[in-house]
Amino acid sequence: MAHLAAPASPPPSPSPMPDAGDSSPPPEREPKKAVVVVMGATGAGKSRLAVDLAAHFAGVEVVSADSMQVYRGLDVLTNKVPLHEQKGVPHHLLSIIDPSVEFTCRDFRHHAVPIIEDILDRGGLPVVVGGTNFYIQALVSPFLFEDMAEDMQGCTLSDRLDDIGLAIDDARSGYEQLKEIDPIAAQRIHPNNHRKIKRYLELYATTGALPSHLFQGEAAEDKWGRPNNSRFDCCFLWVDADLQVLDNYVDGRVDCMINDGLLDEVCNIYNPNAAYTQGLRQAIGVREFDEFFRLCGAKKEPDEIKTGSSTNMVDLHDDKMKSLLNEAVSQLKANTRRLVRRQRRRLHRLNKDFGWNLHRIDATEAFQCTTGHSWDIKVVQPSADIVRRFLSKDTALACKNSSDDIGGTRVASRELWTQYVCEACNNRVLRGAHEWEQHKQGRGHRKRTQRSKQKCKISAASEVEV
């Protein structure tokens, strides 16, 4: 395929000339209103902390920034805060979107900003609880893919790409197109990330801008994710813990979810012909049970599956089904642990590369301690102190007491612009040197590599005998 020239960018709009006779001073900017943002990896206790802050500050209302909790359904799997654990604190953006609809960062911002402003107008304190870091960035940064593509409304992706001579027959060819247009951006994302592939191609088709330019150099430094560009004055709390502690916690939480009806939930939305690339089906914990429910479908009618209970599913007598169920649960745990690592890497980068003043609260001891007061002493009280100083504008003291060096655990910026393909593991794609090194240390990779070496030895010996 021939290389394509980028479409011309539209000329900039002329700037209005100032009135020479107007000597009045420029209007003063209104001070930004205060918003608390609680961030952290899945399982770190963000929602719990947000509710606990209501005991220290009047008018606390929680605004969820979770890309899966915004959908109706899968309450157990997506770990929505049960009503009794909300303790009367108002919660927003939970279970409001149809599970089949795509909900973007721009959609989140358009929903969240009016809610936050309404809370502020009523004299309350919005506490944004973010499991999805890109949603938080949508509040902080004025720059989004969706904003740049705003003029594309009413025009399909195919129409836009046809205008510049591109055509996508399927998702795979879309990735190949992206590799030709912007190989750096193609290295940055997984070939199966269809939604991001589509968005990158849309951006290029509309503006002529290479997506990789938006995340490197001056564009990334000046526009993307800078808190000083935010419409709100944000106090960022980062609830964190030792990685092994988080791993153990999320593994135990998956077991609790199974007991609380996770299988019933996934079974109710199971459709063997549906894709896992849009809406609620993207949630970790849906795709993992696909083979299990397919085998269930082969043994039962679909209605029989959906009327069965999770208790019956767990208490299986069919060895094949029991094996598939165990594999699915193990995969769910593994994928959740990977999510924890991705989220923590992202938070490190926001703190180091984008200048977010993340006040890190180490909850490790609270997770390990069995006494009821540990969470309050180690997590809630330090967080409340930081927020109190922030609200009183004693920011110097807040910064001094926050873990600016994140407890000595600040990591160097990860190199994420190189893609690695592991042939031993069925051509699995890894992003960046760190993810590749982690993968090589995994037990599964080592086993497959060892088997591959043994096969090579046997093959070489056979050739020698011949």
Interval 346-363: pLDDT, tens:
899 888 877 889 999 999
Beta strands in 372-462 (DSSP E): 419-422, 428-431
Which range among 39-48, 388-397, 405-414 shows the weakest confidence by mean pLDDT? 405-414
Instruction: Output the pLDDT for position 23.
Output: 46
Position 82: which residue type?
P
pLDDT digits (tens, 9 = 90+) for 54-107: 999 999 999 999 999 999 999 999 999 999 999 999 999 999 999 999 898 889
- Cα(266)–Cα(74) distance, integer angstroms: 7
Cα–Cα distance measured from residue 342 to residue 346, given in angstroms and rounded to the nearest whole number:
6
Instruction: Tell me which residue has tokens 């070939």.
Output: 191
Nearest in space to 209 (alpha carbons), one of 303, 279, 145, 281: 145
pLDDT of residue 144: 58
pLDDT of res. 231: 82
Per the prediction, the chain carries an average pLDDT of 78
Tell me what pLDDT residue 179 has. 87
CA distances for 366 relative to 42, 46, 369, angstroms: 16, 13, 5
**What pLDDT does residue 227 have?**
67
- The pTM (predicted TM-score) of the whole model is 0.70
* pLDDT tens string 112-132: 999 999 999 999 999 999 888
Q: Whole-angstrom Cα distance, residue 203 to residue 278?
A: 19
Q: Which structure tokens are listed for 171?
A: 């998702």
Q: Count of CB atoms within 10 A of residue 304's CB? A: 11
Residue 392 exposed, middle or buried by CB count within 10 Å (0-12, 13-18, 19+): exposed
Q: Are strands 232-240 and 33-40 parallel, antiparallel or unpaired?
A: parallel
